[in-house]
Every structure is written in structure tokens, then in C-alpha cells.
Amino acid sequence: MSTLSIPPVIPSPREDAVKLHKAFKGLGCDTSKVINILAHRNGEQRSLIQQDYETTFSELLSKRLSKELHGHLKKAMSLWLHDPPTRDAKIVRKALRPGVSDNQALTESICSRTPSQLRRLKEVYQSNYHSSLETDIEIQLSGDHKKLLLAYVTTPRYEGPELDPVIVEEDAKLLYKAGEKKIGTDEEMFIKIFSEKSSTHLAAVNSAYIASHGHSLEKAIKKETSGSFRYDLLTILRCATDPALYFAKILRRSMKGVGTQDSRLIRVVVTRTEIDMYHIKIAYYKKYGKPLTHAVRSDTSGHYKEFLLSLIGSDY
């Protein structure tokens, strides 16, 4: 469920474009006015505003915002302007840069997405960067991490709620045999099951694993695998069993300790606001005993804080 707050009476895209242009004029940008407009429009509305702005003022809104805004707010607003598949493609493309691969951003942006979301991501990636996502993963990554992500973005998976209890039990046994039961790990079996089976199925496999072995499949993955491959598997499993809690924990880590991992904080808030931020806020409160908004207020400042809080909405 989204936390995006849209006014009951929405101005036309041209009206918003004109107001934004006025906010840019004079000595300094009226940043609060920019936030008040763009943080309260959905993806379709933001797209129309950008079209009207370019038509009316012969300038890309994204370029003007890049000139007027700074720091973390600039990064967050730049992502927010895009529709979800374009945004994901941009994050993934940056994460796959030669020599500086960001496996954390890459895994979070691929392994937490549904098959239909991944199809759109791949289409936009190909269109915008004239290269297939699969090709760039093949070139930039290696090992089981590469094998799993390649399988995950190329294998069709069912998205519905139905499952076969018999196959669930079989897969739980296969994963046990591929991991904890043997010396060494059969990574190929983990890749096959995690890339081919639906989220509903994997959640049921986890329950069957607990029933049979007294601990979760997550514990087995932590024991039997390592590095980016382990992170891939854990991300897929956690998003299958409790995606809201998965993102709540990421948000907590991004603001815990000395300094804030702003890239990660921005990525989660911006990409989940129009999907399930309401449920993430509930999961955060249940897990940590305080509202997500309190942590954001403590760990961010200025217009950057204002923008994030506008997206997240009121306290749970």
C-alpha cells in the first residue's frame, strides 16, 4: 500500500509546470514549493508535468532540478522523477559500472522485484542503454552470484498465490540434500529452485524446511553459502516470506551507527513509496518500537529530510 499523498483537487500538469518554473526564478530556488508539488504527484502525473515543462519552457525539468537542487535531495529527486521501471534500470545500470559494481544495490533492485516488474525493467534497460541486462550481468559479474542473477532475470516465474504442497515438500528436501546434508554445497540446485519457483512457493518451502529440520532455510543459507551469492539468496527468500520486514531492516541499517547510508535510504524510500511503504512502516514499528519517521528526522536534515518525510507520510 502506497504512502503517497495526493491533494483531492489536482492542478493541471501545465499549472504545476508554471509553479515549478516560478519556484526556480529569483535569488535561489524555493525548494519547499518544489517538494510540495513533486512529492505529492504519482508517476503518471510527474511524467505529464515533465512533458508540459519541456513544451512550455524549452528545457528538461530534470536538468533544471539538477541545477537548482544539491546533495542528497538532488539524488533523491532525480530518482523520484522517473517511473518505476526507468528508475530501476537507472539504479541497475549504475550498479553494473565496470570496476565499481555495487552488488548491494544490484541485488536489492533485482531480487526484490516481481517477474512482471523485471520484464519491464529489462525492456527499459535495453531501450535506454542499447544493451541487454543479461549481457551486462554476464560481462560485469562472476561466479555463482552471476549465475543466480542471470537465471533470476531470464527465467519466467508464476506470480499467483497457488502452489502444490507435494512439490513444496520435494523442494525442501532437495535444498536440504544440496546444503546441510552433504559436505560442500550444490549451488546449482539452490540457483535452480530460487530462480524458477514463485515467491509463494518459496515461502511455503521455508515453512516446510522449518517443520522438518527445526530451523529456517535462511539459517541454512547463512551456513552453507557466502558473499554476494548468499546475499542474493537471502534477499529472494526474505522478499518471499516478508517483504515489508525486509525493507524495514534495510532502512534501519541505512540509519544505524555513525553516519547514514544515504544512497540506500534514498533507494528504498523512493522505490517503495508508491508500492508498499505503508506496510514497511508497520513492520518497522513492530520490529524496532518506534516510527520510521522518527529515525528519518534524527538522521537527515533540511530539505532532504522534508522530501523523505513527504514521501513516507505520517507516523504509523
Average pLDDT over residues 199-223: 97
> Residue 10 and residue 5: Cα distance in Å, rounded?
11
What is the DSSP code (8-state) at residue 99? Answer: T
pLDDT in tens, 111-150: 999 999 999 999 999 999 999 999 999 999 999 999 999 9
The predicted structure's pLDDT at residue 316: 63
The predicted structure's pLDDT at residue 315: 77
User: What SS3 state is found at 137?
Assistant: helix
Average pLDDT over residues 33-45: 97
Percentage of the chain modeled with pLDDT above 70: 99
pLDDT in tens, 171-196: 999 999 999 998 999 999 999 999 99
What is the DSSP code (8-state) at residue 214? Answer: S
> Residue 270 and residue 263: Cα distance in Å, rounded?
11
Percentage of the chain modeled with pLDDT above 90: 94
Strand segments, DSSP code E, in 83-238 are: none
Average pLDDT over residues 218-227: 97
Residue 144 class from Cβ within 10 Å (0-12 exposed, 13-18 middle, 19+ buried)?
A: buried
Average pLDDT over residues 8-16: 96
Q: Is the pLDDT of residue 49 over 90?
A: yes
**The three cell numbers locating residue 193:** 529452485
Identity at 76, one-letter amino acid code? A
**The three cell numbers locating residue 288:** 524496532
Q: How confident is the model at residue 258 (pLDDT cuts 50, 70, 90)?
A: low
Q: Is the pLDDT of residue 44 over 90?
A: yes
More confident residue, 106 or 98: 106
Identity at 310, one-letter amino acid code? S
Average pLDDT over residues 216-229: 97
Q: Is the pLDDT of residue 235 over 80?
A: yes
Q: How confident is the model at residue 285 (pLDDT cuts 50, 70, 90)?
A: very high
Average pLDDT over residues 95-100: 87
The predicted structure's pLDDT at residue 2: 93
